[in-house]
Amino acid sequence: MEKSDQPVEEMKMLVGMEVEDEQSAAVDDEESSAVNSAADDSSFMDEFNRNCTLSTKQRIQGFAICFVAGLTCTFLSMLVFFNPIKFGIAFTLGNLLAIGSTAFLIGPKRQVAMMLDPVRIYATALYLASMIIALFCALYVHNKLLTLLAITLEFGALTWYSLSYIPFARSMVSRVLVSCFDTEF
């Protein structure tokens, strides 16, 4: 019976859910001692996930708070639209909070694994790079035109990244854009 429950318990740990079984507590103690002896990056994430267990109610509350804070920052950035530096900072912070909110639902390890999935690795890299460029232009360069261009790039990268989670959405959007801008009659 222990062997049949172990994969379920491990899956709960991977997504950060609470494991309420005494046997899993003993397994956790054994794994944490093994984690301490093997100091690689994956063991750090396993240890982090074990220490960050949240109930379902806490996960939903964390998601809601983080997502609403992200949307609030994004919408408040529209108030300072004519000051591109403040706009860039607020817009990027809103995006980071909104994307980070999903880590409450699925766990940080799974979130990173999904972002680094071969299907969306380029979209993730483009999105993260565009956020860094936008913050760099806003905080260091202080150039309004470059900041607006970086925010435009960030918005496009966010759209492309979001479409990667919808099956066939990116190919459909690509076909529509090609047909709209096709100059042949």
Kindly report the pTM of this predicted structure: 0.65
Residue 55, pLDDT score: 84
Q: What is the pLDDT along the chain (185 residues), one digit of tens a residue?
A: 455 666 656 655 555 555 554 444 444 444 444 444 444 556 776 776 676 677 888 889 999 999 999 999 999 998 988 888 888 899 999 999 988 888 888 888 888 999 999 989 999 999 999 999 999 988 898 888 898 899 899 889 988 888 888 888 889 999 998 988 887 76
Residue 90, pLDDT score: 92
Residue 2, pLDDT score: 53
Residue 26, pLDDT score: 42
Interatomic CA distance for residues 150 and 133, integer angstroms:
6
Residue 66, pLDDT score: 94
Interatomic CA distance for residues 150 and 146, integer angstroms:
6
Residue 17, pLDDT score: 55
Interatomic CA distance for residues 105 and 4, integer angstroms:
25
Residue 105, pLDDT score: 85
Return the C-alpha torsion angle 28, 33, 39, 42, nearest 10.
-10
Interatomic CA distance for residues 177 and 181, integer angstroms:
6
Residue 47, pLDDT score: 73
Interatomic CA distance for residues 99 and 161, integer angstroms:
11
